[in-house]
């Protein structure tokens, strides 16, 4: 029988030989070997994982695109794209092509829960969830929901005005990450659960426990996803994540389940998500065939809607505010447009705000420089392989449009790192405009095709209203800590630093 030390030596040698084989294959023989990319990242997934854990992955991939171009191999089996053409090839159905489905490494649902629109892996399953939930975001639903959103934004503005009036100097130093979070969570809370004080953040000027856990949820969620790259290391990685993170997620989920069931059993006539979607709920006076949505699926989807429908808007609102404060001319131009169009804020409706060119330009530029998701929405090349941007890729290759790199691509945008809302105006289509050659189709922060964010219309309406009301009512100046947007850590979403601003009131 072989001595134990000899067994260990043989095992170690076998491991070394295996790793050498993997490195040689990935560098020389892999179908992706011809694509440009940093050598270490091309032969091992570890540099990718370590960069993600540091919150630097978005910026590291951006640096790669600046060095290697629009197509970069960022892992042995992953390719990143930074061009508008890739949006259609990856995320849209192409005649004669199989769909590129979501990458299960990033989009998997937690064990014991029903699939949601975010996690469902199949094309048919995604279409089923999307069909049901889309009724909540139709034009008709948006009209019904407007008064609800307006009420929460009124409370935000009135509360901030009170803080200014309480100060002897008639100025108030506030952290807008908090106040935007309070507002977006209160809005989505009432839309989902029919309860104006479901979270009660604005009323209490404080976070609901769920919201405090959101940043941790996204941070550890991205770290937990790396377990799927190396399943054998799952136990080690799981032990590195504090138990209270899992407990908090489960507590929030059960709270959402309870609120969903309370809303279903209430007699509230209010128009909200539940009143819109309940006719399609199997076994609840609505759909009774397989085309409907189950109770468990409804609960999972509402949990996702709260998380995704609040923090994403908060990120863009903070980005817009940060860039507007650093661009006084843009702030003044926006305020002039609002003052010229409206006599007072009661005239600011969803439909009227949607027709303001400069306001829309500010939001588009904010989405370009401060997208809710800086990285890629990862999908997988179907079995048999397919092409992206004319490049053939083998089946199973992980692909995506890296938003931070695509949106700041100096080959696509003039003065790409500068906040210039005018690049989105119709007037740029002249020979004298420096922005004439900007590839605006590259910017698709809500994704495209059937994978497009289902809440885009509501999100845009919220962004227009909140930004307009803030700029109309307050002079907004930078506080003590000056946030550099591109230096904040990013995981699944950006980990927002405090955005301190100094508010003083303007004449109504």
> How is the beta sheet containing 78-81 ordered, strand by strand?
71-75, 78-81, 398-401, 379-380, 101-102
User: Has residue 17 been placed in a domain?
Assistant: no
Q: Give the integer Cα–Cα distance in Å for 171 and 155.
A: 19
Mean pLDDT, residues 41-45 taken together:
93
Q: Give the integer Cα–Cα distance in Å for 328 and 120.
A: 44
> How is the beta sheet containing 474-478 ordered, strand by strand?
172-175, 500-505, 474-478
pLDDT at residue 475, rounded to an integer: 96
Q: Is 37 exposed, middle or buried (0-12, 13-18, 19+ CB in 10 A)?
A: buried
Q: Structural domain of residue 79, as residue ranges? A: 33-505
> Would the annotation count 192 as a binding residue?
no
Q: Give the residues across from 293 on adjacent strands.
A: 281
pLDDT at residue 109, rounded to an integer: 59
SS3 476: strand
User: Has residue 450 been placed in a domain?
Assistant: yes
Look at residue 10 and tell me whether its pLDDT is greater than 80: no
- The DSSP element (H or E) to which 150 belongs, if any, is helix 139-166
pLDDT at residue 3, rounded to an integer: 59
Mean pLDDT, residues 83-92 taken together:
95
Look at residue 444 and tell me whether its pLDDT is greater than 90: yes
Of 279 and 103, the structure prediction assigns the larger pLDDT to 103
SS3 386: strand
User: Has residue 160 been placed in a domain?
Assistant: yes
Look at residue 1 and tell me whether its pLDDT is greater than 60: no
SS3 348: coil
Q: Count Cβ atoms below 10 Å from residue 274 Cβ, excluding itself.
A: 23
CATH of the domain at 322: 1.10.630.10
pLDDT at residue 408, rounded to an integer: 97
CB 90 within 8 A of CB 100: yes
Q: What is the pLDDT of residues 321-370, one digit of tens each?
A: 999 999 999 999 999 999 999 999 999 999 999 999 999 999 999 999 99
User: Has residue 11 been placed in a domain?
Assistant: no
Number of structural domains in the chain: 1
Q: Give the integer Cα–Cα distance in Å for 287 and 122.
A: 21
pLDDT at residue 230, rounded to an integer: 80
Mean pLDDT, residues 233-244 taken together:
71
Q: What are phi and psi of 287, to 5 degrees?
A: -60, 140
Q: What are phi and psi of 373, to 5 degrees?
A: -120, 115
* pLDDT-based confidence at residue 422 (cuts at 50, 70, 90): very high
23-37, 265-279, 287-301, 378-392 — which one is most confidently predicted on average? 378-392
Mention every residue, 6+ apart, whose C-beta is less than 8 A from residue 328: none
Q: Give the integer Cα–Cα distance in Å for 203 and 196.
A: 10
Look at residue 110 and tell me whether its pLDDT is greater than 70: no
CB 181 within 8 A of CB 211: yes
User: Has residue 495 been placed in a domain?
Assistant: yes
Q: What is the pLDDT of residues 277-315, one digit of tens each?
A: 877 776 655 544 566 778 888 888 888 888 888 889 999
* pLDDT-based confidence at residue 162 (cuts at 50, 70, 90): very high
pLDDT at residue 63, rounded to an integer: 98
User: Has residue 20 been placed in a domain?
Assistant: no
CB 423 within 8 A of CB 414: yes
Instruction: Tell me the two tokens of residue 285.
Output: 């006076």
Smallest Cα–Cα separation from 336: which of 350, 356, 320, 355? 356
User: Has residue 203 been placed in a domain?
Assistant: yes
Give Rg (Cα) of the chain.
24
Mean pLDDT, residues 86-109 taken together:
89
CB 322 within 8 A of CB 328: no
Look at residue 21 and tell me whether its pLDDT is greater than 60: no
pLDDT at residue 264, rounded to an integer: 84
Q: Is 414 exposed, middle or buried (0-12, 13-18, 19+ CB in 10 A)?
A: middle
Smallest Cα–Cα separation from 456: which of 354, 345, 334? 354
User: Has residue 334 been placed in a domain?
Assistant: yes
pLDDT at residue 175, rounded to an integer: 96
pTM summary value: 0.91
Q: Give the integer Cα–Cα distance in Å for 212 and 215.
A: 7
Q: Give the integer Cα–Cα distance in Å for 480 and 483.
A: 9
Instruction: Tell me the two tokens of residue 459.
Output: 């999100």
């Amino acid at each position: 029988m072989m001595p134990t030390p000899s067994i260990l030596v043989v095992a170690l040698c076998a491991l070394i030989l295996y790793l050498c084989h993997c490195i040689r294959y990935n560098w020389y023989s892999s179908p992706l070997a011809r694509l440009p990319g940093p050598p270490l990242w091309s032969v091992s997934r570890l540099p990718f994982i370590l960069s993600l854990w540091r919150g630097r992955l978005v910026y590291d991939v951006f640096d790669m695109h600046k060095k290697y171009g629009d197509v970069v191999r960022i892992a042995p089996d992953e390719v990143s794209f930074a061009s508008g053409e890739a949006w259609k090839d990856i995320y849209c159905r192409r005649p004669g092509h199989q769909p590129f489905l979501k990458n299960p490494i990033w989009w998997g649902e937690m064990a014991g829960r029903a699939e949601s629109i975010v996690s469902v892996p199949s094309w048919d399953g995604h279409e089923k969830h999307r069909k049901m939930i889309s009724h909540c975001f139709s034009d008709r639903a948006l009209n019904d929901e407007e008064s609800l959103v307006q009420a929460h934004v009124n409370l935000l503005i009135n509360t901030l005005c009170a803080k200014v009036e309480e100060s002897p100097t008639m100025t108030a130093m506030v952290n807008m990450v908090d106040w935007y979070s309070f507002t977006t969570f209160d809005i989505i809370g009432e839309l989902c659960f029919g309860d104006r004080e479901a979270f009660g953040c604005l009323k209490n000027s404080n976070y609901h426990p769920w919201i405090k856990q959101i940043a941790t949820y996204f941070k550890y969620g991205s770290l937990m996803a790396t377990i799927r790259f190396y399943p054998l290391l799952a136990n080690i990685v799981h032990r590195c994540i504090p138990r209270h993170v899992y407990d908090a997620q489960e507590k929030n989920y059960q709270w959402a389940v309870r609120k969903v069931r309370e809303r279903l059993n209430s007699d509230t006539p209010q128009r909200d998500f539940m009143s819109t979607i309940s006719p399609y709920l199997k076994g609840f006076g609505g759909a009774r065939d397989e085309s409907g949505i189950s109770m468990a699926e409804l609960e999972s989807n509402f949990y996702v809607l709260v998380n995704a429908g609040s923090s994403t808007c908060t990120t863009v609102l903070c980005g817009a505010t940060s860039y507007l404060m650093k661009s006084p001319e843009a702030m003044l131009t926006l305020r002039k447009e609002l003052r010229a169009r409206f006599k007072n804020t009661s005239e600011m409706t969803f439909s009227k705000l949607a027709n303001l060119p400069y306001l829309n330009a500010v939001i588009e530029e904010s989405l370009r420089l401060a997208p809710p998701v800086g990285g890629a929405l990862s999908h997988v090349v179907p079995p048999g392989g397919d092409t992206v941007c004319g490049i053939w890729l083998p089946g199973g290759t992980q692909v995506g449009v890296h938003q931070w790199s695509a949106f700041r691509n100096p080959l696509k945008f003039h003065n790409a790192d500068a906040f210039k809302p005018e690049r989105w105006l119709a007037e740029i289509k002249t020979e004298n405009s420096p922005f004439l050659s900007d590839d605006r189709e590259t910017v698709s922060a809500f994704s495209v095709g059937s994978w497009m964010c289902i809440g885009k219309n509501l999100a845009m309406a919220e962004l227009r209203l909140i930004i307009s009301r803030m700029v109309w009512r307050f002079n907004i100046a930078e506080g003590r800590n000056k946030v550099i947007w591109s230096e904040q850590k990013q995981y699944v979403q950006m980990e927002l630093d405090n955005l301190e601003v100094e508010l003083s009131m303007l004449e109504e």
